[in-house]
Amino acid sequence: MSAARRRFYTQVGVAPQEDYFCVQLDGKTVHTPKGRRLHVPSANLAHAIAAEWDAQMEVIAPHSMHMTTLACTCFDGVADVQSAVIDSLLPFVETDQLIFRDDKNEEFCAQQSAALDPWVQWAERELEIRLIVTRGVMPVLQPAQNAQRLKNILEEMNVWQLTAVAHLVEQLRSAVLASAVFKGVMSAQEAFRLSNMEEHFQIEEWGVDDELQNRLERIQTEVLAAEQFLDLIGRK
């Protein structure tokens, strides 16, 4: 999305175009920042994007337009480089948030294990990704086949799904949690909670830190938006 600018249109609508749907401003199709026509495969997504444009006031606030941003990212940042995007996500399986346990506070470590271990087991059972858990913040060597298995999973997604899942992986710092959200077995809200257990523990122990709180709120918003995007385009 480009920098904020004044609202320049009056009417917002959705127009079917063969197998796609276009969002139109005063009868003209919205374009991505790179100048591509923004046409999406789902009427629900098109109407959600249209609602974002219609909700803008005198000055357009791009940061409030999450569906528009993800759709533009799909065209401008993923569609032409899907293999590169997939390759960029593979290292996350080496440092997945599910791997780490606290090495100083035994009670908190036990809380982490109770919450995270079931998803470590789910990853091995359902994704064939076996995570080696460790205590502390230093990564440990993970099974070599994990990256290839994750690559296979990502390659099965269409470009719209890959856009949302890539966003989830980056925000959650977890390919496994992102996969669970994609498969519909975990809510984005729960994935956000699990991926940020350490940060919430810090807040409980030391009090609210404004910078950390703002960062968590931003991540939560982004994660929920990616889930909504998946809901609107479909997971099959």
Residue 37, φ and ψ in degrees, nearest 5:
-65, 130
Closest CA to 90 of 158, 142, 159, 132: 142
Question: CB burial class (10 A; 0-12, 13-18, 19+) of residue 113?
Answer: middle
pTM, two decimal places? 0.95
Residues 6+ apart with CB under 8 A from 190: none
Closest CA to 224 of 191, 174, 188, 190: 188
**Residue 3's pLDDT is what?**
55
The rounded Cα 12 to chain-centroid distance in angstroms is 27
- The owner of tokens 């009056």 is 10
Low-confidence ranges of the chain (pLDDT < 70): 1-4
**Residue 234's pLDDT is what?**
86
**Residue 236's pLDDT is what?**
73
The rounded Cα 27 to chain-centroid distance in angstroms is 31
Looking at the DSSP bridge assignments, the partners of residue 25 are 12, 28
> Contact, 77 vs 33, CB < 8 A?
no
Distance from C-alpha of 162 to C-alpha of 139, rounded to nearest angstrom: 26
Q: Which helix (H) or strand (E) element contains residue 24?
A: strand 20-25
> Contact, 52 vs 68, CB < 8 A?
yes
- The owner of tokens 């931003």 is 218
The rounded Cα 114 to chain-centroid distance in angstroms is 24
Residue 107, φ and ψ in degrees, nearest 5:
-65, -45
